[in-house]
Amino acid sequence: MTYAIFDAIMPGRISTVFIMCLFLENLKIKIDEDFS
């Protein structure tokens, strides 16, 4: 769902990298909360 939106804004490889960065950022925040 989110991917389709980003893919419409930023076609191709860029959007994939952008989503990966968002996903990793969210993961890092979750881990930080778990270990704090």
> Which string of DSSP letters, residue by residue, matches 15-28?
HHHHHHHHHHHHHH
Give the number of other CB atoms < 10 A from CB of residue 16. Answer: 13
pLDDT of residue 34: 85
Residue 10 burial class via C-beta count within 10 angstroms: exposed 0-12, middle 13-18, buried 19 and up: middle
Q: Is the pTM of this model over 0.85?
A: no
Residues 1-29 pLDDT 10s: 566 776 676 677 777 888 888 999 999 98
- Residue 30 pLDDT > 70, yes or no? yes
Spell out the domain ranges in the chain.
2-35
pLDDT-based confidence at residue 31 (cuts at 50, 70, 90):
confident
Distances (CA, A) of 30 to 3, 11, 18: 21, 29, 19
pLDDT of residue 25: 93
Cβ-contact 15, 9 below 8 angstroms: yes
